[in-house]
Amino acid sequence: MKFIVAVDLEGVACVVGSPNRTLTDSPDFDFACRQATKEADAAARALFAAGAEQVIVWDNHGASLNLLYDELDPRCDIAVGTDPEHRWPGLDDGFAGVVLIGYHPRDNTANGVLAHTFSSVAYQYMKVNGVEVGEIAIDAAMAGEIGVPVIFVASDDRGTAEARQFLPWIETVATKTGLGRNLAVSLHPQRAIEAIYRGVDKAVHRIGEMRPFSFSQPLMLEIRHKRIETAQRLVREQTGWQLVDPYTTRKEFERLSQYF
List, in sequence order, every beta strand (DSSP E) within the chain. Answer: 2-7, 54-59, 77-79, 97-101, 123-128, 131-133, 150-156, 171-180, 183-186, 219-225, 242-245, 248-253
Average pLDDT over residues 144-151: 98
By CB atoms closer than 10 A (0-12, 13-18, 19+), residue 220 is middle
CA distance 252 to 122: 21
Beta-strand pair 183-186/171-180: antiparallel
pTM for the model stands at 0.96
- What is the distance in angstroms between the CA of the first residue and the CA of the last residue of the chain? 26
Is the torsion defined by CA of 71, 77, 81, 87 positive or negative?
negative
Nearest CA to 51 out of 109, 108, 97 is that of: 97
- Cβ atoms < 10 Å from Cβ of 68: 13
pLDDT in tens, 50-84: 999 999 999 999 889 999 999 999 999 999 998 88
**Which residues neighbour 245 within 8 Å (Cβ) at sequence distance 6 or greater?**
none
Three-state DSSP state, 183: strand
Across the range 190-201, mean pLDDT stands at 98
Specify which residues 3 forms β-bridges with: 55, 97
d(CA 109, CA 116): 8
Residue 48: pLDDT over 90: yes
Distance CA 252, CA 73 (A): 42
> Pick the residue with more confidence: 86 or 33?
33
Least confident of 6-15, 117-126, 169-178, 193-202: 117-126
Which pLDDT does position 24 carry in this prediction?
83
- C-alpha span between 227 and 248 (Å, rounded): 10
- Are 154 and 200 in contact by the 8 Å Cβ rule? The answer is no
Query: CA 154 to CA 200: how far, in whole Å?
Result: 10
Count of other CB atoms within 10 angstroms of residue 93: 9
| pLDDT of the residue at 117 | 96
Query: Taking 90 as the threshold, does the pLDDT of residue 253 lie above it?
Result: yes
Helices within 12-108 (DSSP H only): 29-49
Distances (CA, A) of 20 to 26, 45, 103, 219, 235: 9, 36, 20, 34, 29
Mean pLDDT (whole number) for 248-257 = 97
Determine the average pLDDT of the residues in 234-250.
97
